[in-house]
Amino acid sequence: MNPLLIPTDLVTRLRTARRVAVLTGAGISAESGVPTFREAQTGLWARYNPEELATPEAFRRNPRLVWEWYAWRQERVRQAEPNAGHYALVEMERRIAEVALITQNVDGLHRRAGSQQVVELHGNLFRVKCFAEDRPVENWPESANIPPRCPHCGSLLRPDVVWFGESLAASALRVAEQAAVTAEIFFSIGTSALVYPAANLPFTALAAGATVVEINPQPTPLSPQVTFSLNGPAGVILPRLVEQVWGDAVGISECRL
């Protein structure tokens, strides 16, 4: 199927949908120039495997290496801008009564694009917390230490993200699961669908009777189960989808697509 042709049946379902849930992964930010997790890394960090850096064990072993990797990623994201895929989801939020945007990304690009209801399942690259006590920390004394130390207990500071083996924030997971149960349409966009518990969400939605739509240039373990598979980049498919569903609506020409 031509991925740019959005199935008519999906267009019809979206026009009348009142509750939609969207799960995004690193692929939605790929067209902003933010590297995905499991595709080949480039430059300085090409010889490191991200899966091996995003763990508490890696941080215990070499806190400086892990802190510097996150500092490098912060810089990449600061230089990036949201892309047409992020903006199309902002438009979707404006058009549908309830849209829950659940992201595994820590880059903050959905909020920068203007999405309001964003659940960040894996934390945020720009927040910091104490490694020992899990306490959020906003300011710390200037020093040459890398990583810097917690001003309250003296332990190392770390990024406020969820590493392998760590629990997701219970409140975020609850909201995400509830959105998957109640959604009429569930989108899985730009994620390899490998990392749990996020990877369960589309299956929860399917079990509850939702239409499940995957947008990804590559197949994933979820692909055989979905109702609609749109094989292509999110930054191309999502604006086309929005245009086909609401293109004749008043004000669409003002959207940043």
Point out the residues that are catalytic.
Answer: 122
Which one among 6, 54, 180, 201 touches ligand BJW, defined by CB under 6 A?
54
Integer Rg of the chain from CA: 19
Distance CA 108, CA 112 (A): 6
Q: How far apart are CA 73 and CA 69, in angstroms?
A: 6
Instruction: Determine which residue in the list 38, 95, 129, 149 makes contact with ligand BJW, applying CB under 6 A.
Output: 38
Pairing of strands 185-189, 211-215: parallel
Does residue number 115 form part of the binding site for ligand BJW (CB under 6 A)?
no
* Residue in this structure with the two tokens 């995957």, named with its chain if needed: 214
234 binds ligand BJW (CB under 6 A): yes
The contact pattern for ligand BJW, residues 57-96, with x = CB under 6 A and - = no contact, is ----------------------------------------
Give the distance, in angstroms, between the CA of residue 183 and the centroid of all CA atoms in the same chain: 18
Site for ligand BJW in 153-172 (CB under 6 A): 161-167
Residue 37 found at the interface with ligand BJW (CB under 6 A):
yes
Q: Is 196 a binder of ligand BJW (CB under 6 A)?
A: yes
In the complex with ligand BJW, the residue whose CB is nearer, 165 or 251, is 165
Interface with ligand BJW includes 104 (CB under 6 A)? Answer: yes
Q: 115: which residues sit within 8 A by CB, 6+ positions away?
A: 86, 89, 90, 93, 101
Residue least distant from ligand BJW (Cβ):
27
Among 4-12, 14-22, 175-183, 213-221, the segment contacting ligand BJW (CB under 6 A): 213-221
Among 192, 211, 229, 244, binds ligand BJW (CB under 6 A): 192
Cross-strand pairs, 159: 128
Closest CA relative to residue 112, chosen from 83, 74, 136, 91: 83
Report whether 201 contacts 180 (CB < 8 A): yes
Question: Helix, strand, coil proportions of the chain in percent (round to 5)?
Answer: 40, 20, 45
Residue type, 210: A
Nearest-approach distance from CB 186 to ligand BJW, in angstroms: 16
CA 213 to chain centre: 16
Toward ligand BJW, which CB reaches closer, 151 or 221? 221
The distance of closest approach from Cβ of residue 105 to ligand BJW in the complex, given in angstroms and rounded to an integer, is 6
User: Residue 67 corresponds to which amino acid?
Assistant: W
Smallest distance from the beta carbon of 97 to ligand BJW, in angstroms? Answer: 26
Rounded Cα–Cα distance for residues 106 and 92 (Å): 21
Footprint of ligand BJW (CB under 6 A): 25-27, 30-31, 36-39, 54, 104, 106, 122, 161-167, 190-192, 194-197, 215-218, 220, 233-235
